[in-house]
Structure 1
Amino acid sequence: MLRILNIFLIITSLLIYGSIFIPPTLFWPAGILSYGIPVLMLCLLMNIAFQLILRHRIPFLSLGLLLFGVFVMPEIFQWNSVVTDQERKSFEVLSYNSRLMREYKAEEAKGWVYSQEMINFIVEDTSAIKCLQEYYSDGRWKALNVSQKLKQKGYEPYVLNYHQFAENDEFARGMAIFSKFPILKRGKIDIGESSINQAIFADVLLSPKDTIRVYNLHLHSMGINPELEWQKASEAYPILLSKLKSGIQKRVNQTHPILVHIAQSPYPVLVCGDFNDPPFTYNYQQFRKNLHNAFEQKGRGFGFSVNSPMFFLRIDNQFYSDAFELNNFKTLREVPYSDHFPIKSTFRLSAP
């Protein structure tokens, strides 16, 4: 029996650990298998505890498999110390899926209700650069004219409306980058036709000699509604698998042109956004190959960024290139207005 269990653990571990290196476009189940890494590591920990407490023996196989998987732990859990700002000039970067400024969980009870608290947070936050996904502003109403409020605070905007909405100065519904530094160039990356998924960038002049490129991404949704109730469990699994498969493959296809664009950037890059992929997935690893992740370097705890029943996910990220030094990273869990928590980092360019 023990031999069968050991064989099962070995095969399962190799399949799940190896899945993060397999493109889901080649073998789509690999994208789903990678979601099992936290569960596998928890099972291995429980088996180790069981063997130690009840059988008084060291389960070397489970211990070895757990240690083999520790290479993904920096992406899941961190305990970095907090560092205060140095004298050299630094700047803060905010990334936030603002849910079209709508009050979270209000639709069913009251219909669409815009959150004045969320708008106030976005306007009053002191970050020099703000990357907003699912951005909304309406110049017809003073309370909803977020773009004007930010301009009055000294921010220069780059707003790209969703495909189905025409560009105009009064109404905005899409992606946005706001900067207190001058924006030299604005652009978007073609990641395929989608109603809400986009990738934009802005070249920002930090100083007469220093220009950086800031990306703001919103990749395809995971397609799971945790609050949806299915009447029959047998109907739920095919729907869930279909949504997971479709979402994984679409995000891989969206990521490729973004990575190509990043590789061709003439400037150091900051990549912010709602990636809709947890850290132990193939897509996340592709960004991680040539960029650093702010949570991994300076985060604390698990850094969960989803404010919903699926609270155990960290899908909002800030990546950065070698030219930057990261001072701090925070997940602002005290800001509960959206179904995502904002994330915020303090950067400065490395000395030449």
Structure 2
Amino acid sequence: MKNLSFLDKIFYLLNSLLATLLLLSYLLPYISPNTMPILAVLSLFVPILAIINICFVIYWLIKLKKQFFLSTVVLLIGWFFSSTFYKFSDKNSSLNSDLKVMSYNVKAFDFFNVNTDSTSTKNGFDFIADKNPDVLAIQEYYQSSKIKLSYPYKFIKTKNDKGKFGMAIYSKYKIINSGSLNLKNTSNNIIFIDILKETDTIRVYNFHLESLRIKPNEENFGEENSEKLLNRVSTSFKMQTQQALQFLEHEKNWHGKRIICGDFNNTAYSWVYKKISMNKKDAFLEAGKGFGKTFNYWFPMRIDFILVDEKAIVNQFKVFSEQYSDHFPVQAKISWK
């Protein structure tokens, strides 16, 4: 510190604070939000914290200062002990036996008939038809005569008998069983189907965990009443914890092949994700590339997931950039050993 200018000393203090926050974030998957819900908010910012620390490393290296060790060490710890926030290479293979699964939070289809590009007549339903997934899991479903999805089998669960909002799973394969976890005190839910693919029975869970109610293109975290925002998000994290535990209890009764997909409303650096993904493969980590950003916010948030059992092989994973909703659709090609 003695050989640093006054401005560099300020930078190093800021560097120390942000490196400490990043280091602290590595512990979040092991701390239940029921214990420290406010701390769980930090899990949303891990990618941006990592990017800032990389910038500090570059800054100190350019100045030939040994201070670059601080962020370098913290980033290396994260590389070995935390979930990867950026994938440099992907996997792009395909088998005739692959099951192609898409998960998509469609935001009640409200963007599907709006052309963001005036020269294009393609909408969200055309996009789905073009990608042609075998199984399509939809969150924030809205029942309407305008829906253009052609599948022989489907399971739709609205929040109540008279409601139109809910969740849906469409399938090219016969659905032999279906159900809902009927999450309490929320409009969100977890549903599932069992499909018959040749001689295999595969369970597909469709998740929509408690929403954080963070709106794209609005500076929620910069608003004056930030305490109210933090309290709301903390409450959502605690509800997600109970929802995850309810799922884990339900999952115990299924011992076959499985796919868990949907909108977790949380990141890969959270307790909720760690619990749900235990003994499973994350399709993005297996075959994806880049940040895997699935929510249209100003920094890369990966909150939509496709997870598979340990015997499954993920041959391909994609996050599509089409903006028909505030979420980007994710798709995986999956086979089994």
CA shift for structure 1 position 76: 1.3
**2:209 maps to 1:219:** yes
**Which of 321, 330, 337 does residue 343 from structure 1 map onto?**
330
CA shift for structure 1 position 50: 3.1
Say if 1:263 and 1:228 are closer, same or farther in 2 by CA, change over 3 A: same
Distance in structure 2 (CA, Å) of the matches to 1:46 and 1:138: 48
Distance in structure 1 (CA, Å) of the matches to 2:333 and 2:291: 19
CA shift for structure 1 position 45: 2.6
- Counterpart contact for 2:112–2:123, Cα < 8 Å: no
**2:63 maps to 1:54:** yes
- Counterpart contact for 1:191–1:258, Cα < 8 Å: no
Say if 1:291 and 1:65 are closer, same or farther in 2 by CA, change over 3 A: same
**Which of 32, 39, 42 does residue 33 from structure 1 map onto?**
42
What secondary structure, in the 3-state scheme, does the structure 2 residue paired with 1:300 have? Answer: coil
What secondary structure, in the 3-state scheme, does the structure 2 residue paired with 1:138 have? Answer: coil
Distance in structure 2 (CA, Å) of the matches to 1:9 and 1:217: 32
When the two structures are aligned, how many residues end up with a matched partner? Answer: 322
**Which of 90, 102, 109 does residue 110 from structure 2 map onto?**
102
- Give the corresponding residue for 1:110: none
Superposition CA RMSD, Å = 2.9
- Give the corresponding residue for 1:111: none
Say if 1:50 and 1:105 are closer, same or farther in 2 by CA, change over 3 A: farther
Runs of 4+ displaced beyond 3 Å: 1-14, 55-62, 71-75, 122-125, 226-230
CA shift for structure 1 position 99: 1.4
Structure 2 gaps of 5+ residues are: 3-8, 115-120
**Identical positions, percent:** 29
- The within-5 A match list for 1:37-186 is 37-57=46-66, 59-71=68-80, 74-86=83-95, 89-103=97-111, 117-139=123-145, 144-146=146-148, 149-151=149-151, 155-163=152-160, 165-166=161-162, 172-186=164-178
Distance in structure 2 (CA, Å) of the matches to 1:253 and 1:9: 30
Distance in structure 2 (CA, Å) of the matches to 1:67 and 1:229: 31
What secondary structure, in the 3-state scheme, does the structure 1 residue paired with 2:239 have? Answer: helix
Q: TM-score, normalised by structure 1?
A: 0.81
Distance in structure 1 (CA, Å) of the matches to 2:93 and 2:259: 21
Say if 1:71 and 1:221 are closer, same or farther in 2 by CA, change over 3 A: farther
- Give the corresponding residue for 2:180: 188
- Counterpart contact for 1:104–1:339, Cα < 8 Å: no
- Give the corresponding residue for 1:270: 259
Distance in structure 2 (CA, Å) of the matches to 1:183 and 1:343: 22
**Which of 300, 303, 321 does residue 289 from structure 2 map onto?**
300
